[in-house]
Structure 1
Amino acid sequence: MSCRRLVLVLGDQLDADAPALEGFDPAQDRVWMAEVAGESTHVWTAKPRIAVFLAAMRHFAQALAARGWTVDYLRLDAAGNPGTLGEALAQAIARLAPRELVITHPGEHRVLEMLREAARGAGLPLEVREDTHFFCSLPEFAAHARGRRQLRMEFFYREQRRRHGVLMDGDQPCGGRWNFDAENRASFGHEGPGLLVAPLRFAPDTLTQEVLDLVEARFPDHPGSLQDFSWPVTRKQAREALHDFVTHRLPEFGLWQDAMWTGEPWLNHSLLSSAMNLHLLDPREVVAAAEAAYREGRVPLASAEGFIRQVLGWREYVRGIYWMEMPGYLERNALGATQPLPAWYWTGDTAMACLRDALTQTLRHGYAHHIQRLMVTGLYALLLGVDPKQVHAWYLAVYVDAVEWVELPNTLGMSQYGDGGLMASKPYVASGKYIQRMSNACKGCRYDPARSTGEGACPFTTLYWDFLIRHEPTLKNNQRMAMQLKNVQRLDDAQRQQIAARASALRHEGAAK
């Protein structure tokens, strides 16, 4: 058995129009896909994330086979499955004897190097094709970055708006402004979010249920739950999810996109990131749907712009940063953080109400929205001083939308300031009062966000002041930190000592479990 071309399709490349599939000849070529345990164990991957990848892969393979294409598909439970992508590919090469290998550019540096090594070992050429899923190619991002002293997402975003004609009236941005972020930071107040339209969810079909059963059997000790699994795992489901968001939640998305409310995991968020990151949805159709809703008068401009900024701006920007900076980016630790990640991040077993809610939700659904990630789970790890590589491994493990190109810069750079300011112009640090303002989590919590020391002091608040004290020499020249550091200078020696002592106790106690 031999073939002309073996087309490698990874679990986050489930697009029938992917560049690797261009020129596919069913008479001469084969598609190769593989489920391997190593992709679920190189970080301690949560069950929902494993399941969403495997279920989507199996549905995609089924769709290709329905075209009459030959798909060489290695299942996780197949006899002789070697457990890693590199070894699985080496076995496939030996069996199928292709003359060349083709792949769309992977979303993870580690995977790309693994596959390149397998190709070299077999003496075969591996053609890596630019991933046209994205608005901005990697060479285009490199051109944007070239010669700039500092990279900032806002300037990149404006450039993308102009280049692609998104939310533009002629050569000017719609509404005369590029960014409506200042209008998108409201909290729900004491009354809460009110009546919410539940997002469209997808009951597992037979193929997905097989995956759920397999994941439970193969990874019983991994974190997370599959009880509520209902993520889109097909192209059809992903398109339905997009329509549901634009119709029911995008109109209210803008104003309250930063708000949180305990027991309400979805609020007005899109829930589309996993479908986009699996390539079941093209970001162009997502942006086009949001813009059309604005132009047709169905969605306020601030909501459409705020959402489009996340897709056309931030999502594209972090990918460019990832591939420009890897592999060294993974090792960055600008603040010298060395604390271990608290074990209760894997269980949600903490007395802090905001963290308990965000962690429990994450483990149950494989999901938390961006403010829960940045300003609850991420903020606490940053203030505590956790090694950013450990924080990265946790985020990569637990979220269904986690692919390293998007997760690593968001976690190590934006959330943990591990890159020293490449991704974010300052550390995103706040006390417990921020969480009190943006959510109802502090109501009834045993900790008081107004207190930094003494009985009942909020660990966020204690650690916030401790963070500023510890890193004052490093941050003193950052103009965006001037106001926060000015407040630190008002603390006398006794207050500083009390804060430091309480922060040290939190670290030794397992960080306020």
Structure 2
Amino acid sequence: MSAFERDIKAAQPTATDLRNRRWIYVPYDRYTDRTGPLTEQPASDTGVVIVESTAKALRRPYHKKKLVVLISNMRHFAIEQQGKGVSVLYHFSPVSHGQALLELQRELRLPSLTCMTPAERELRLDLSMAQANGLTLDFVKDSTWASTSKDFLDTYGAFTPGKSYVMDRFYRHMRQQTGILMKNAKPVGGQFSFDADNRSPYKGEVCVPATLMFPPDAITQEVIAMVESTYGHHFGSSKNFDLPCTQSDCDALWRFFLDHLLPYFGRFEDAMRDDHLQLFHSKTSVLLNLGRLLALDLIRDVAERAATNQAPLASCEGFIRQLLGWREFMRHLHEQTDGYRRLADYVPQEQNPRPQEHSPNQTKLAAGAYKSAAGHDPFAGATPSALHASLPLPAVYWGVRSGLHCVDTVVAQVIDEGWSHHITRLMVLSNLATLCGFSPRELTDWFWFAYIDAYDWVVETNVLGMATYADGGVTATKPYVSGAAYINRMSNFCGHCQYDPKKSIGLGSCPFTALYWTFLERNQSTLASNFRMQMPYKSLGKKSQEELVQLRRRADETIVHLASFKRPAYSRGSLE
């Protein structure tokens, strides 16, 4: 038994505590006492129930560092609450959260529980199933968000299949609603978005500050040992764990970003480097998604830096757009579409897609493509694929080196850290998958277990939507794909690669460019009418048949090469 288990069990609530306190279930994605039901009565009248569930952790081969940061924050949160006078019922369980709560309630005669509505659909469903079996639990508003469902509905109306949902409309609504970066009902600086100022490659113009690290304390060290023992077969590495797990450390990470990174964040937001993997990104998404940091607090802090000229307006607006715009927009869309399940049989009428056309080798690969769980599994993920992509995700995503320096570098970072910033997620990992025609659902599930900040509401809308265009344009006006030119312009990856980004065919050519042109050709009937795709299709039309044949051959060689490596299998929590 670990020291934490021994100490937490010794402090279990008394019978008087169970009778006289208000009992609040704290989900694994809502570790906060800065908002919600924990703020509504004195600590002496408050009790919290926390469940550490082995069943949940084994559901997927979650990155080891994701499990460490989640469980260690969970344990530290329990200790922090005890220190404030809150009674803590901390329960280790081999079953799901909902089932564990039901068993606890029956065994201890716990009164009805209150729960701030969990962010993750999967947990909400688990708890609802337990309610159907007798668990008495009341959901209350999740006040960690910066917006409400009404904000989304006021912007777009009720969700309608076939309708496009452009984030900019929602972002403008939220700016006006909150008054953030607004003056006299107009945006500060004369425009809502400074995205055009946030696209510079990084070439050493300013020094990148050394990353702030948080060495694991005794509790975190125990969690690391437990993860290696219980979940040693999972994805990624737990070595060199340095993420914040106490509230004070979480706050320190945020202050570090405000003081040292925010001034340069916007300008280099889209830059990629193999020698500065984090650059000026905050790396706070994992803490936001655990509830350790609150979005509106961060937004107001950044707005204050803009108002006092402590950081450029473009940097501040770019960061606020990610939180007040994109993050909130995506979680609403996930809720309104029930995790894209309402899109399952939907195909936009104007696009008239046809089955994806593969070369003979690709067709062979597609025979083993990922199939989502069907039938009565309530946890099965939605599987939209407007471009009919179906090839299995290759072993490169598990760390088998492909020879593509950009891909190998980013995957190595994910294995090591469980994190990479948003442009490497979109324009390297997702770009490769979309161009090759890898299964959007399988890519989504990979992101879900591989990233420390990933939950269903994050990955399903982002990956099935913007990253792969699997939703047919619900969240993006065009597929976000590119050849080697974009990667070469925005990074230093190509300078350290065996492939030449300026060659599209022949020996030493970068596969990304051939994959890009064959992607356009393969999906021409679906995408050619898209007004944002007119220019690339005009360029495609100028290519000779001889060049097209060579491009197809180069792309096909790449996909077959990527498929030639054996993908690791997991003994539990496997997607295979």
Q: What TM-score bracket applies, with the shorter chain setting the length?
A: over 0.9
Gaps of at least 5 residues in structure 1 are 76-80
Match of 1:354 in 2: 406
Q: Which residue of 1 aligns with 2:151?
A: 140
- SS of 2:48's partner is strand
Distance 1:442 1:26 in 2: 56
List runs of 5+ in structure 2 lacking aligned partners: 1-14, 344-381, 566-576
1:177 pairs, out of 155, 171, 191, with 191
Pairing partner for 1:302 from 314, 326, 340: 314
Q: Does 1:250 align with 2:262?
A: yes
The alpha-carbon distance between structure 1 residues 382 and 38, as it changes in their structure 2 partners (threshold 3 A), is farther
Measure the CA separation in 1 of the matches of 2:149 and 2:113.
Answer: 21
Cα deviation, residue 117, structure 1:
0.7
Which residue of 36, 43, 54 corresponds with 1:37? 54
Q: Is the 8 A contact 1:160 1:312 kept in 2?
A: yes
Match of 2:428 among 365, 376, 379: 376
1:23 deviates by 4.3
Q: Aligned partner of 2:409: which letter?
A: D
Q: CA RMSD in A?
A: 2.0
Q: Report the AA paired with residue 151 of structure 2.
A: E
Q: Does 1:82 align with 2:97?
A: no
Taking the aligned partners of 2:311 and 2:40, their CA distance within structure 1 comes to: 40
**1:61-460 residue pairs with structure 2 within 5 A?**
61-75=78-92, 81-122=93-134, 124-146=135-157, 149-189=163-203, 192=204, 194-327=206-339, 328=341, 330-347=382-399, 349-460=401-512
Whether the 8 Å contact between 2:45 and 2:86 is mirrored in structure 1 is no
| Residues 7-63 of structure 1, C-alpha deviations (whole Å, 9 max, x = no match) | 221111001134243545777764221122232232221111111100110011111
More displaced, 442-451 or 46-55? Answer: 442-451
The match for 1:499 is 551
Taking only the aligned residue pairs, the percentage that are identical comes to 34
The 8 Å contact of residues 131 and 137 in structure 1, kept in 2 or not, is answered as no
Among 42, 64, 72, the alignment partner of 1:55 is: 72
Give CA deviations for 1:434-453 in whole Å, capped at 9, x if unaligned. 11111111113111222332
Paired positions, count:
505
Aligned partner letter, 1:165? G
CA shift in 2, pair 1:234/1:347, >3 Å: same
Tell me if the contact between 2:151 and 2:174 (Cα under 8 Å) persists in the aligned partners.
no
CA pair 433-272 structure 1, distance change in 2 beyond 3 A: same
SS across alignment from 1:249: helix
Whole-Å separation in 2 of the counterparts to 1:221 and 1:125: 36
Q: Which moved more, 1:374-383 or 1:348-357?
A: 348-357
Q: Secondary structure at the match of 1:443?
A: helix
- How far apart, CA to CA, are the structure 1 residues paired with 2:106 and 2:504? 63
Deviation of residue 404 (structure 1)? 1.8
Cα separation, 2, equivalents of 1:30 and 1:47: 30
For residues 296 and 22 of structure 1, what CA distance do their matches in structure 2 show? Answer: 31
In 1, Cα distance between equivalents of 2:389 and 2:468:
9
TM-score by length of 1: 0.94
TM-score (norm 2): 0.84
Matches of 1:30 and 1:121, distance apart in 2: 23
Greater CA drift, 311-320 or 27-36:
27-36
Whether the 8 Å contact between 1:273 and 1:401 is mirrored in structure 2 is yes
User: Which range moved further: 92-101 or 339-348?
Assistant: 92-101
1:467 deviation in Å? Answer: 0.7
